[in-house]
Amino acid sequence: MSTMGPESSYEITVDGHFVFSKLKLGGYPYNDDIMQCVRIVHTGGTPEVVKRAKKPTFLK
């Protein structure tokens, strides 16, 4: 699940576990990081918070 916050920032939770915040990291998550969190929760584990994000891209 993801929730919208101020200025199009959002947070991602997996089955109630907070795993990512665009507002805190300043960019979008890597798909592999989020999928790893999903796999961990699916097998009964507790995922760690994602600590990296893609650098923002600005269009001119």
With contact defined as beta carbons under 8 Å apart, do 2 and 15 qualify?
A: no
The more confidently predicted of residues 10 and 45 is 45
Question: Which of 11, 7, 31 has its CA nearest to residue 20?
Answer: 11
- Look at residue 3 and tell me whether its pLDDT is greater than 70: no
Token output for 25 = 């990291």
pTM of the full structure: 0.79
> How many Cα neighbours within 13 Å face the side chain of 21?
9
Average pLDDT for the chain: 88
At residue 15, the 3 state secondary structure works out as coil
Count Cβ atoms within 10 A of the Cβ of residue 29 and give its class: 0-12 exposed, 13-18 middle, 19 or more buried: buried
38: confidence class by pLDDT, cuts 50, 70, 90: very high
2: confidence class by pLDDT, cuts 50, 70, 90: low
